[in-house]
C-alpha cells in the first residue's frame, strides 16, 4: 500500500482535520528511516505526539502509529503526516539493490544551492502562516536612527505574535505561554540594545511590549503572570535608561511623555501593573521638574475617587493622597500637607499621623479623642479591621495612663470581638479582683455563648473550648464537645477528656466508626484507622477498638481494601 492508498482510506472528516494540521504547520519534524519508516512530531491540542508510518508495497496495508489518546481507527495526526509525505514526492521504496542514506536536516540545508533554498522557502511560506510570521520577526528591521520613534514598528511585530496565538478571540494558558516566549525575544533585544548604548531602541521595544501586553492581557489566560511580568520588566528597562544611564534630553522627554500618556490608561491598574507604571511616572516627573503634570493627574483621580464609597476606591484614594503628600513634602509645602491631613481624617492613615503627633507631644487626651472618633467612623463604615486596630491602640493608651478600669473593660470587649486572641483574656483576668474572678469569668462565658459583641454568628467552638481548658472547666468542655456531634472534635479533645470521660467517649467513637464503615473506598478505611488509633488512647479503648475492628471485618468480609488498611494497625 502506497501513501496515497493510505490517504484514500482515511475517513473524509479525519482527512479534513489532517489537512488543517498540515497546512497550519503543526508537523514539527518529519524524517525517514533506513527501513522506509517515516517518523514525525506533530503538535496537537494537548502536547506533541509521535507518529510513525511504514508503507508496505507488497501488501494492501500500511503500518501506522500515533501516541495520541484518540481511539478511532486512524487519527488526524497520522492523516497530516501522510499528506506531508505525499506532498514531498520523495518517497523512497526500499529494495535489495537500493541502500537508503539518512542525512540530517542541518546538513541538507548546508548542502543546498542558494537559489533552491530560496525557492523552497518562498514555496513553503505561501502555505504556512507561522513560517511567514517567523521570517518577518527574524529578518525585518526598523528605521535605524538614534531619535527614531520605532514604537509603532515594534507594536506591529508584537501584536502579530498575539494574533498568531489567538483562537476565537482568546489566548488560552498554553498558547499564552508560547506567545510570551516569542515576546521574550524582543525583551532580549531590548537588553542587548541597552547594553550597547542604543537607549532609544531599548525604550521603543519596551514601550511596545508594555502597550501590546496590556492590550493582550485582557483576552489572555495570564495566570502564570508571564504577560504582567513582561510589562513590569519593560518599566524596569525604562527606569534603567532614565536613572542608570545618560540618555539625551530629548529621549528623557519622550519617555516622560510616553509615561504621562500611559498612566491615563486605567487598564494598567485593573490588571495589577499600574503601581509600577505610576511609581516610575511620579519619580520621573520629580526628576525632570514636571511635578505640575503629576499633581494634575493625581488631583483628577482624587476628585473621581472621593465620590466613590467602595473599598477599592478608598484604597486608591489613600494611595494617591499619600503620593501627593510625598511630593508636597519634597517641595517643602508643609502647609498644604497639613491641610490634606486635616481634610481626610476619616482615612485611617491620615488620622494615625495626627495620633502619632499627639503622642509625641504627650497630649494623651487628644490621642484618646482621635482614636475614639476613629472607632466611630470605622464602625459606621463596617470596617471591623480598622475598629480593632484603633481599639488595640486605645488599650495600650489606657495601660500607659494606668486607667485600670478602662483597660480592664476594653480588654474584655476586645476578647469578645476577637476570641482567637488570647492576650485579651489574660489582660482581663489579670486586672480582675481574685475574689470576683469566677463570677466575671462565668458572665464572660455566657456572653461568648450568646455571641454578644462578637463579629462571628457564633463563637467558634475551639475558642470557647480554649477558655474551658484554660480555666479547667472540664465538665463544660465535655458538654461542648458532646453537643458538637463531630468525631473530629471528639478526637481533638480526647487528651483533655479521657481522664474523666473515657466511657462516654468510647460510645461516641464506636458510633462514629460504625456509621463511617457503611461507606466504601480506601480513603474511608484510612480514616477509620485514624479513628481506631485515637480510640485506643482511652481507658479500655484498645480492647474495645480491637473487638470493633474484628466485628467490622466479619460484617464486611468482601472488602479486601478494608482488610489491608486495618491490618496496618498491627493489633493481635
What span, in angstroms and rounded, lies between the C-alpha atoms of 370 and 352? 9
In this structure, the answer to whether residues 281 and 160 fall within a common structural domain is yes
Q: By the 8 A CB rule, do 183 and 164 touch?
A: no
Q: Is residue 337 part of a domain?
A: no
In this structure, the answer to whether residues 155 and 257 fall within a common structural domain is yes
Q: Is residue 349 part of a domain?
A: no
Backbone phi, psi, residue 431, to 5°? -95, 10
Q: Is residue 512 part of a domain?
A: yes
In this structure, the answer to whether residues 265 and 147 fall within a common structural domain is yes
Out of 102, 129, 155, a domain closes at 102
Q: Based on the structure, what is the number of domains in the chain? A: 4
Backbone phi, psi, residue 418, to 5°? -140, 70
DSSP reduced 3-state for 224: coil
Q: Per the structure block, which three cell numbers stand in for 187?
A: 525583551
In this structure, the answer to whether residues 366 and 498 fall within a common structural domain is no
Q: In this structure, are strands 47-55 and 62-66 parallel, antiparallel, or unpaired?
A: antiparallel
This prediction has a pTM of 0.65
Q: What is the pLDDT of residue 388?
A: 96
Q: Is residue 335 part of a domain?
A: no
In this structure, the answer to whether residues 262 and 164 fall within a common structural domain is yes
In this structure, the answer to whether residues 90 and 193 fall within a common structural domain is no
CA 533 to chain centre: 38
Out of 261, 289, 317, a domain closes at 289
In this structure, the answer to whether residues 213 and 92 fall within a common structural domain is no
Closest CA to 279 of 249, 336, 322, 223: 322
Write out residues in the chain with pLDDT < 70, as ranges: 59-61, 89-102, 127-130, 133-134, 136-148, 452-457, 572
Q: Per the structure block, which three cell numbers stand in for 341?
A: 491631613
Residue-range definition of the domain harbouring residue 155:
141-289
What span, in angstroms and rounded, lies between the C-alpha atoms of 452 and 468? 18
In this structure, the answer to whether residues 25 and 96 fall within a common structural domain is yes
Out of 462, 496, 522, a domain closes at 462
Q: Is residue 482 part of a domain?
A: no
Following DSSP, what letter does each residue of 463-475 receive, concatenated?
HHHHHHHHTT-HH
What span, in angstroms and rounded, lies between the C-alpha atoms of 400 and 57? 98
In this structure, the answer to whether residues 434 and 491 fall within a common structural domain is no
In this structure, the answer to whether residues 411 and 520 fall within a common structural domain is no
List residues bridging with 53 in a β-sheet: 38, 64
In this structure, the answer to whether residues 447 and 397 fall within a common structural domain is yes
Q: Is residue 324 part of a domain?
A: no
In this structure, the answer to whether residues 371 and 424 fall within a common structural domain is yes
pLDDT tens digits along 353-397? 999 999 999 999 999 999 999 999 999 999 999 999 999 999 999
What span, in angstroms and rounded, lies between the C-alpha atoms of 7 and 340? 78
Q: Is residue 304 part of a domain?
A: no
Q: What is the pLDDT of residue 458?
A: 73
Q: By the 8 A CB rule, do 468 and 448 touch?
A: no
pLDDT tens digits along 521-548? 999 999 999 999 999 999 999 999 999 9
Q: Is residue 393 part of a domain?
A: yes
Q: What is the pLDDT of residue 239?
A: 95
Residue bearing cell 479486601: 560
Q: By the 8 A CB rule, do 418 and 424 touch?
A: yes
Q: What is the pLDDT of residue 465?
A: 95
Q: Could you tell me the strand order of the sheet in which 38-44 lies?
A: 27-32, 38-44, 47-55, 62-66
Residue bearing cell 495566570: 223
Closest CA to 349 of 309, 383, 307: 383
Q: What is the pLDDT of residue 94?
A: 43
| Cα angle, residue 103 at apex, residues 98 and 109 outer, rounded to 5° | 130
What span, in angstroms and rounded, lies between the C-alpha atoms of 361 and 538? 62
Amino acid at each position: 500500500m502506497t501513501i496515497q492508498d493510505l490517504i484514500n482510506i482515511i475517513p473524509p472528516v479525519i482527512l479534513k482535520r489532517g489537512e488543517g494540521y498540515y497546512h497550519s504547520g503543526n508537523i514539527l519534524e518529519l524524517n525517514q528511516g533506513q527501513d522506509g519508516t517515516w517518523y514525525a512530531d506533530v503538535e496537537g491540542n494537548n502536547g506533541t505526539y509521535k507518529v510513525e508510518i511504514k508503507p508496505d508495497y507488497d501488501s494492501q496495508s500500511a503500518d501506522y502509529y500515533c501516541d495520541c489518546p484518540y481511539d478511532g481507527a486512524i487519527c488526524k495526526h497520522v492523516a497530516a503526516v501522510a499528506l506531508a509525505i505525499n506532498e514531498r514526492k520523495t518517497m523512497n521504496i526500499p529494495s535489495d539493490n537500493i541502500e537508503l542514506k539518512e542525512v540530517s536536516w542541518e546538513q541538507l540545508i548546508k548542502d543546498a544551492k542558494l537559489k533552491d533554498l530560496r525557492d523552497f522557502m518562498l514555496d513553503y511560506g505561501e502555505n504556512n502562516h507561522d513560517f511567514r510570521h517567523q521570517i518577518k520577526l527574524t529578518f525585518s528591521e526598523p528605521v535605524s536612527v538614534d531619535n527614531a520613534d520605532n514604537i509603532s514598528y515594534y507594536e506591529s511585530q508584537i501584536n502579530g505574535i498575539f494574533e498568531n496565538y489567538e483562537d476565537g478571540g482568546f489566548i488560552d494558558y498554553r498558547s499564552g505561554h508560547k506567545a510570551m516566549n516569542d515576546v521574550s525575544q524582543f525583551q532580549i533585544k531590548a537588553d542587548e540594545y541597552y547594553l550597547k548604548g542604543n537607549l532609544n531602541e531599548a525604550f521603543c521595544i519596551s514601550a511596545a511590549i508594555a502597550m501590546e501586553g496590556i492590550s493582550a492581557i485582557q483576552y489572555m489566560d495570564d495566570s502564570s503572570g508571564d504577560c504582567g511580568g513582561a510589562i513590569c520588566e519593560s518599566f524596569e528597562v525604562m527606569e534603567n535608561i532614565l536613572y542608570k544611564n545618560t540618555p539625551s534630553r530629548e529621549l528623557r522627554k519622550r519617555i516622560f511623555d510616553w509615561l504621562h500618556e500611559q498612566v491615563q490608561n486605567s487598564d494598567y491598574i485593573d490588571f495589577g501593573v499600574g503601581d509600577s507604571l505610576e511609581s516610575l511616572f511620579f519619580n520621573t516627573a520629580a526628576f525632570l521638574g514636571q511635578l505640575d503634570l503629576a499633581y494634575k493627574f493625581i488631583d483628577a483621580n482624587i476628585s473621581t475617587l472621593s465620590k466613590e464609597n467602595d473599598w477599592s476606591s478608598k484604597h486608591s484614594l489613600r494611595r494617591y493622597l499619600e503620593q501627593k503628600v510625598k511630593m508636597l513634602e519634597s517641595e517643602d509645602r508643609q502647609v498644604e500637607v497639613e491641610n490634606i491631613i486635616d481634610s481626610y481624617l476619616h482615612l485611617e492613615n491620615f488620622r494615625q499621623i495626627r495620633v502619632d503627633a499627639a503622642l509625641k507631644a504627650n497630649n494623651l487626651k487628644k490621642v484618646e479623642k482621635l482614636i475614639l472618633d476613629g472607632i466611630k467612623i470605622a464602625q459606621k463604615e463596617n470596617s471591623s479591621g480598622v475598629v480593632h486596630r484603633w481599639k488595640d491602640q486605645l488599650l495600650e493608651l489606657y495601660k500607659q495612663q494606668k486607667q485600670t478600669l478602662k483597660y480592664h473593660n476594653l480588654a474584655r470587649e476586645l476578647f469578645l470581638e476577637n476570641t482567637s486572641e488570647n492576650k485579651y483574656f489574660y489582660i482581663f483576668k489579670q486586672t480582675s479582683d481574685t475574689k470576683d474572678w469566677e463570677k466575671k469569668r462565668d458572665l464572660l462565658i455566657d456572653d461568648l455563648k450568646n455571641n454578644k459583641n462578637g463579629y462571628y454568628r457564633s463563637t467558634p467552638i475551639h475558642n470557647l473550648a480554649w477558655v474551658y481548658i484554660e480555666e479547667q472547666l472540664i465538665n463544660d468542655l465535655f458538654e461542648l464537645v458532646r453537643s458538637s456531634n463531630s468525631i473530629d472534635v471528639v478526637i481533638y479533645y480526647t487528651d483533655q477528656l479521657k481522664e474523666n470521660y473515657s466511657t462516654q467517649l468510647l460510645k461516641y467513637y464506636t458510633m462514629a466508626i460504625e456509621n463511617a464503615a457503611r461507606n466504601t473506598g480506601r480513603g474511608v478505611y484510612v480514616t477509620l484507622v485514624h479513628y481506631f488509633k485515637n480510640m485506643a488512647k482511652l481507658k479500655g479503648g484498645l480492647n474495645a477498638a480491637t473487638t470493633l475492628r474484628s466485628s467490622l471485618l466479619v460484617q464486611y468480609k468482601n472488602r479486601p481494601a478494608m482488610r489491608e488498611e486495618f491490618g496496618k494497625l498491627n493489633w493481635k
